[in-house]
Amino acid sequence: MNQRVALTPFGAAATGSVLVPGSKSHTNRALLCAALAEGTSKLSGVLFADDTEAMLEAVRSLGAEVVEHRSELILQVTGLGGRLRFNGSVINSRSSGTTSRFILPVLAAGRGPATLDGSEQLRSRPFAEQISALRALGCDLRETRAPGELPLDIVADELAGGEIEIAADSGSQFVSGLLLAAPLYSKGLTIHLSGKPVSRPYIEMTVKVMEDFGVNVEQPNESTYVVHSGKYRATDVDIEPDATAASYFFGAAAITHGRVRVEGLHKQSIQGDIQFVDVLQQLGAKVTWGDAFIEVEGDRIRGGSFDLRDFSDTVQTLAAVAAFADSEIEIKGVGFIRAKETDRLAAMTSELAKCGVDITETANGLVIRPDKWLLRGGVIETYDDHRMAMSMSLIGLRVPGIEILNPDCVKKTFPDFFPCLEHLRPRPQQRSKVVAVVAIDGPAGSGKSTVARRLAADLNLPHFDTGAMYRAVGVAALRAGVDVEDADGITKLATEAEIEISDRVFIDGVDVTEEIRTQEANQLVSVVAANAEVRRVLVPRQREWATGLGGGVMEGRDIGTEVFPDALLKVFLTADLSVRAERRFAESSGLTLGHVSEDLKRRDEVDSTREDSPLLVAPGAVIFDTSGLSVDDVVSQIATMFRALVDD
């Protein structure tokens, strides 16, 4: 088993078409119905993963015959016709909630002793509501470890069924399990839900699959389900691609400002999690609905409030996407997911906080207040929850240093997740076909100049410090006695001054390399750079420089957003304020650390709030926290990303 996987940021927009595996939810419902039916059913496009393997093993334990064609993703299932006999059968549901909660009411319909068990993780998950419901219907069962938990010993005596009221918020799997077993009960089953059900689309999926196998489910009102005694009939079923699995790839498109297509899904899907695409659209993504595909193209991610009660398996995906949003995102209606494979609200709060995300757990969800400047790498605990591993991997598409512990937990539903994600990595481009610009932005003291110079040397590319241009204009103003607040005067200087930047900086032939780095120049540069007219003069020069040379390493505060928004690789360097202050303090003289820190705060405020070309994280940029890294580490990682994007 792999202990961890280290993710390398894409460095550019995710792109491509993905075939996700079959829906776990659809597979397990269809597999159980086929096992209970009369005749032989053919299931195509099935998922082969830990959760479905658990159901496959369970239906064989019940006595169904299954022929596998794994390479073709096909199962042929000869069912039992509803006749269930047990003689001490032990069914191990592994870590599969659907298997355990679907099989338990089915066991109650048979005759003889049987035991239902699972992994330690599954044993810790709640079964009390379903146990109480079955006991109320007359089932003889006993918890052998702890009340409301597995393992369970059942002495089945062909449960008659009848009428039952259960709490709607006890979980869609509980309700679906009772519905699936209901035709086997001699009196059928009427279920009354008290309150608003959670994940209703999953219940609707159950009803649809039952109808595919010939069992009608009556719904006299939205809180009542009536199933008469009867038999499932064999049929052929095409399993849909998994909409929850698709959410990670749609999320990748949103986060990287890429374009990703998932084949086989469409607007008429029976899976409620398809609604995640609507959320991304509300956040600003462009969505194309095809007859047999869905495509998402990312853009700036807006904020908003979203109730995910009906598609709660996408909560973690949305939380990861929210880390890159421009404003606050609230996720509500999902307090019940604390009882999933892990407490998903607490787990997501803990792991995103490691990555610098301001996240608050509420009674019923999460609130994410994103600040992309603060994002950083971290070692991610997955809590043996496949959705933690897959959702947190999305952070690593733009943030270096993300390591996922126990990545093999994705085998529960998506064994090939990491190769599929890697499939979206941008393909190399010939340098002759693109302006190979590395755009490096970031606040003062983040290491831009040092990293950019070293990176340019490492890649054998030209280096250009755009900030030096604005510093040079500021120094020219000092020399000419022009007030930097005089917008017209500063613009005239920028237009007329001959500024040359290479290893040294010259203004009208005078070397000012050291002068532009003085504290006095530091005070002026933000004011000069905030002058929109000055920027209109200097930005075209910067573009001409890079275009004329065929590329290079450009550093500044708006390279990826304004100067070269189509740069081959965009990087935003950041660091803790205290670290940036220490760096600047080491370079200064006559100032206290406190003065340097306050000056950096002031510059951050001016740079990030100016009306023209404010300092922002460029769309899709790799966000690189340099606080605890050496220059060599940073340069090496950026160089690796750049080389992966070009054909040498």
How many angstroms separate the CA atoms of 348 and 514, rounded?
48
The residue among 9, 37, 52 whose CA lies nearest residue 106 is 37
Alpha carbon 563 to chain centroid, angstroms: 29
Q: Do the beta carbons of residue 367 and residue 389 sit within 8 Å? A: no
Range list of β-strands (E), 70-136: 74-78, 89-92, 111-117
The residue among 161, 187, 170 whose CA lies nearest residue 105 is 161
Q: Do the beta carbons of residue 559 and residue 466 sit within 8 Å? A: yes
Catalytic residue status for 633: no
The residue among 277, 556, 613 whose CA lies nearest residue 439 is 556
Element (H, E) at 279: helix 276-282
List, in sequence order, the alpha helices (H) in 514-576.
519-529, 532-549
How many separate helices (H) and strands (E) can be counted in the chain? 21, 33
- Give the dihedral of Cα atoms 559, 564, 565, 567; nearest 10 deg: -100
Residues 6+ apart with CB under 8 A from 618: 439, 441, 559, 560, 561, 565, 567, 570, 572
Active-site residue identified among 51, 310, 313, 385: 313
Report how far apart, in Å, the C-alpha atoms of 577 and of each of 581, 606, 625 are.
Answer: 6, 15, 11
How many angstroms separate the CA atoms of 152 and 115, rounded?
6
Q: What would you measure as the largest C-alpha separation in the chain, in angstroms?
A: 99
List, in sequence order, the alpha helices (H) in 315-411.
315-322, 344-354, 386-393
- Give the dihedral of Cα atoms 46, 267, 300, 538; nearest 10 deg: 100
The residue among 434, 369, 429, 377 whose CA lies nearest residue 401 is 377
Q: Order the strands of the 162-167 sheet from edge to edge.
A: 162-167, 189-194, 224-227, 217-221
- Give the dihedral of Cα atoms 270, 275, 278, 280; nearest 10 deg: -130
Q: Do the beta carbons of residue 177 and residue 206 sit within 8 Å? A: no
Q: Which residues are catalytic?
A: 313
